[in-house]
Amino acid sequence: MASLPKTDTSDRYVYRFGGGVSDGGQGDKNLLGGKGANLDGMASIGLPVPPGFTISTAMCTRYYDEGGQFPQSLRDEVATGIAHIEGITGKSFGDEADPLLVSVRSGARTSMPGMMDTVLNLGLNDRTVEGLAQASGDARFAWDSYRRFIQMYADVVLELDHGAFEEALEIAKEDKGFHLDTDLTSEDLEALVDRYKALVEQQWGKPFPQDVHDQLWGAVGAVFGSWQSERAKVYRRLHDIPGSWGTAVNVQAMVFGNMGETSATGVAFTRDPSTGERAYYGEFLINAQGEDVVAGIRTPQYLTLAARERAGAKAASMQEAMPAVYDELAKVFDLLETHYRDMQDIEFTVQQGKLWMLQTRAGKRTAKAALKIAVDMANEGLITREEAIGRVDPAALDQLLHPTLDPKAPRDVIAKGLPASPGAASGKAVFDADSAERMAAAGEAVILVRVETSPEDIHGMHAARGILTARGGMTSHAAVVARGMGRPCVSGVGSLAIDARAKLFRVGGREVTAGDILTIDGATGEVMLGEVATVQPELAGDFGVLMEWADGVRRLKVRANAETPLDCRTARQFGAEGVGLCRTEHMFFDAGRITSVRQMILAEDEKGRRAALEKLLPEQRSDFAEIFEIMAGLPVTIRLLDPPLHEFLPHEEGEFAEVAAATGIDVEKLKRRAAELHEFNPMLGHRGCRLGVTYPEIYEIQARAIFEAAVAVANKTGDAPIPEVMVPLVATRRELELMKAVIDKAAEAVFAETGTRLEYLVGTMIELPRAALKAGEIAEVGAFFSFGTNDLTQTALGVSRDDAARFLGVYVEQGIYAKDPFVSLDIEGVGELIQLAAERGRKTRPDIKLGICGEHGGDPASIAFCEAIGLDYVSASPYRVPIARLAAAQAALKP
């Protein structure tokens, strides 16, 4: 393959592809953008790609650095690029006899809505259009291309009001009583071009540019300009894409899908992006161009016979209509999958029976499809199991673990559309993106209802639980974006008559207005009125297989934060290897117990407290016994009472009266005692082990309940649990020492009474900076540390989690913290405390058990950090256990 000598790449901006020339070395995405890199890649493996060239992302950066100017050297390079295309196609740019037409396409490193739309058919003007008509022998095609070009150029480069152009097209059709663009004759289109040119002059104040080079530079400038558009910026913010990346520009010879019945344009996936099934999947349109397929101008036709039959559609599939080209395309799909070793999303055009490839990229897919494709490809030998593990985004698993519609639940189906993105969602109908965002911020579940979506709706789609559109196919904007975001979506519900301004839609004689509850099922395409009951997901199949592979490579153990039997069972189903945090106070809020708890708190002396605690003992014992049985043979970490006592205090008269009745203490006295317990800063007040230090009987009786339960379960099942008794909020060695003595004494008493001895551990949470610093000393007493990263973040940053919402957003925006430190661990700061504590703890006690509990235990980035510093386990909420298992495996595989 011919290739330019790679001299100094630093001042080189144009890279040619196609026709046996490849300057790009098969695709550096950072330099050429994703689209450019893969065009070069496809051409290099011998696929039919129209020749072209890519202006690199480096030029975008330089363009902005130099205040929106192009250097002279770029003009020379672009001339070389155009000459390359001319050489291969045998046509000349601007030639009045047989003109070369090109497309100008934006292309960032990752595909990015919000960037400039593609301009097609560039190079047409009043004279070249005649040449094109002559040379092609098809005047209709020439004028169709010209009207498309003016409309696109006016919209995306000149940024004129596109409504006026669409209206002119509608009028042209109406005048003749036509429904379809394809019905318009050559003369109709010529008249439409005149109308379009007049519109340009009216709105822009200048005639439509006739110089083809002006057209080209205008389009190139517009691509670079769109990098800083509001839409692009919003998208970058949502997806953590740095502004410094820039976009590339691709200029490529046009091929024409609008040259009659043997021409077509289409989009395809090499596997089903919804289900992951290994079947070609896509849509195409005969005698059409560019994005006609996704724009919903005509109803697209299916690619394969099987898909057409399954959908019960009448229009011929590509497999039937163009069997030879279809076979060639199918071969290309397989070649691309083998080459890129991933499912591909492809754009192609057929010009008079000849296939041309215009784009390929790794296809966006649902979590379900990601799982299936990863497992299938590993089984097919296309990728390794390790790669399969890396292919699934742990956070996306969330989609699969959540409920789907209960098939037995009654449902009031009002319409049916395309199953564009799976999952079920219920919420209030809203008709614009801003309202969706506002209501979601106020905590409401909403379904965004649009005729069709566009990049301006992204924020609303993100905020909505589900998306419903009246227009657009399986590859429409709504469908693609929803799948990427993991939002359920039903698209193309043609029967919906939406009146967005009146905020309502009508369907089948019924009216749905803003605020009415809708349910959509993205797996079936059903739209229902009201909320529909849901069922738990299926955890076997591909999910089970991938999890098994992940378990095979991960080193970190994964436990669950769980205190109810239900949570414990869910956690085990999801593969938890024990309980990392059982918060005993959650057991106290139970209606039957709270009075005894209050009695304990309000008691005036130890005797009163003991009397109340004795009532709680059997209850706690049976709770623990149940948890130990569910977690048979696995470690269970039980945290002794932690929160400030006032959280349990009675507030209302009736509640005081209940406690008075139970204790015989009068209400006034109880109220006085409650007032005494008031704290100014309860999170730093009388809580955690401070309760145990001042009222040891509380921890003593809790410990007794734990050991009695453990002994009972050991004797009943023969499978002795391993209780890990955890003391919260320790700052000093002495605190832990005192509490350990209380716990050990309770254990000894129970073992002596029952004649059964058990193994158990006493350890502590590390959730205060002082504890992290003094971990070496604390490890002399404690057998394990569990990093309580919620409190450790609060105390290390001096930020109250409950009050942070007001300013944390700005902090993240300003880059003070990269992410919300309560969601993703502040690795630099809090992480350093954890690392230091782990090191000091291990130095004292080499076999000390180390883990984290708290929100961060289910966050992939935080889990990667836990792996890096060699903790023993992470503990996450039950639904996040699978996410943690996969994230732990990915972390272990990281070099």
The residues annotated with a catalytic role in the active site are 477, 853
Instruction: Out of 54, 359, 421, 764, point to the residue binding Mg ion (CB under 5 A).
Output: 359
Piece of the chain touching ligand ADP by CB under 6 A; list 201-209, 249-257, 613-621, 768-776? 249-257
Q: Where are the alpha helices (DSSP H) in 417-530?
A: 433-441, 458-463, 477-485
Strand 526-529, strand 534-535: pairing: unpaired
252 counts as binding ligand ADP under rule CB under 6 A: yes
Piece of the chain touching Mg ion by CB under 5 A; list 130-138, 352-360, 509-517, 605-613? 352-360
542-554 per-residue burial string, b: 16 or more CB within 10 A, e: under 16: bbebbbebbeeeb
Enter the DSSP assignment of 299: P
Query: Binding to Mg ion (CB under 5 A): which residues in 554-613?
Result: none
Using CA atoms, how far residue 166 sits from 4, 124, 151, 163, 180, in Å, is: 44, 20, 8, 5, 13
Degrees (nearest 5) of the Cα angle 577, 578, 583? Answer: 145
Residue 50 or 422 having the CB closest to ligand ADP: 50
Closest by CA position to 432, among listed 519, 494, 514, 529: 514
Piece of the chain touching ligand ADP by CB under 6 A; list 15-23, 62-70, 246-254, 443-451? 246-254
Enter the DSSP assignment of 728: -
Question: Which residues make Cβ contacts (< 8 Å) with residue 81, sequence separation at least 6?
Answer: 14, 16, 52, 53, 251
> Choosing among Mg ion, ligand ADP, none, which partner's interface includes residue 469 (Cβ < 5 to 8 Å by kind)?
none
Piece of the chain touching Mg ion by CB under 5 A; list 52-60, 110-118, 211-219, 389-397? 110-118
Run of H or E residues at 558? strand 557-561
Residue 301 or 596 having the CB closest to ligand ADP: 301
Piece of the chain touching Mg ion by CB under 5 A; list 87-95, 109-117, 836-844, 870-878? 109-117
d(CA 531, CA 516): 10
600-622 per-residue burial string, b: 16 or more CB within 10 A, e: under 16: bbbbeeeeebbebbeebeebbbe
Degrees (nearest 5) of the Cα angle 443, 449, 454? Answer: 105
**Least CB distance from residue 252 to ligand ADP, whole Å?**
4
Is residue 678 left, alpha or beta, with left meaning phi > 0 and alpha meaning psi from -120 to 50? Answer: beta
Contact flags string 343-362 toward ligand ADP, x per CB under 6 A: ----x-x--------xx---
**Least CB distance from residue 15 to ligand ADP, whole Å?**
16
Instruction: Out of 38, 265, 421, 561, point to the residue binding ligand ADP (CB under 6 A).
Output: 265
Q: What are the residues facing 160 on neighbouring strands?
A: none
54 counts as binding Mg ion under rule CB under 5 A: no
Residue 117 or 181 having the CB closest to Mg ion: 117
**Least CB distance from residue 572 to Mg ion, whole Å?**
46
Q: Where are the alpha helices (DSSP H) in 177-283?
A: 186-204, 212-226, 230-238
Run of H or E residues at 833? helix 830-844
> Choosing among Mg ion, ligand ADP, none, which partner's interface includes residue 103 (Cβ < 5 to 8 Å by kind)?
ligand ADP
**Least CB distance from residue 323 to ligand ADP, whole Å?**
22
291 counts as binding ligand ADP under rule CB under 6 A: yes
Contact flags string 44-83 toward ligand ADP, x per CB under 6 A: ------x---------------------------------
d(CA 746, CA 572): 29
Per this entry, what is the length of the chain? 895
**Least CB distance from residue 92 to ligand ADP, whole Å?**
17
> Choosing among ligand ADP, Mg ion, none, which partner's interface includes residue 349 (Cβ < 5 to 8 Å by kind)?
ligand ADP
Closest by CA position to 894, among listed 557, 548, 554, 396: 554
Exposure on the CB side of residue 811, measured as CA atoms within 13 A = 15
Residue 49 or 727 having the CB closest to ligand ADP: 49
> Choosing among Mg ion, ligand ADP, none, which partner's interface includes residue 50 (Cβ < 5 to 8 Å by kind)?
ligand ADP
Using CA atoms, how far residue 828 sits from 793, 854, 864, in Å, is: 12, 18, 14
Residue, CB closest to Mg ion: 359
Contact flags string 553-582 toward ligand ADP, x per CB under 6 A: ------------------------------
> Choosing among Mg ion, ligand ADP, none, which partner's interface includes residue 849 (Cβ < 5 to 8 Å by kind)?
none
d(CA 200, CA 160): 8
Instruction: Out of 33, 290, 419, 427, point to the residue binding ligand ADP (CB under 6 A).
Output: 290
Helices (H) and strands (E) in the chain, counts: 35, 34
Q: What are the residues facing 99 on neighbouring strands?
A: 92
Residue 264 or 597 having the CB closest to ligand ADP: 264
Q: What is the DSSP secondary-structure string of 834-865? A: HHHHHHHHHHH-TT-EEEEESGGGG-HHHHHH
105 counts as binding ligand ADP under rule CB under 6 A: yes
103 counts as binding ligand ADP under rule CB under 6 A: yes
**Least CB distance from residue 468 to ligand ADP, whole Å?**
23
**Least CB distance from residue 523 to ligand ADP, whole Å?**
26
Q: Measured in Å, how far apart are the chain's first and last C-alpha atoms? A: 35
Query: Binding to Mg ion (CB under 5 A): which residues in 456-475?
Result: none
**Least CB distance from residue 121 to ligand ADP, whole Å?**
9
Piece of the chain touching Mg ion by CB under 5 A; list 176-184, 346-354, 405-413, 650-658? 346-354
**Least CB distance from residue 230 to Mg ion, whole Å?**
17
254 counts as binding ligand ADP under rule CB under 6 A: yes
**Least CB distance from residue 35 to ligand ADP, whole Å?**
6
> Choosing among Mg ion, ligand ADP, none, which partner's interface includes residue 105 (Cβ < 5 to 8 Å by kind)?
ligand ADP
885: three-class secondary structure by DSSP: helix
Query: Binding to Mg ion (CB under 5 A): which residues in 113-132?
Result: 117
Q: Rg of the Cα trace of the chain? A: 33
Q: Where along the sequence are the contacts to ligand ADP (CB under 6 A)? A: 50, 103, 105, 118, 120, 252-255, 265, 290-291, 347, 349, 358-359
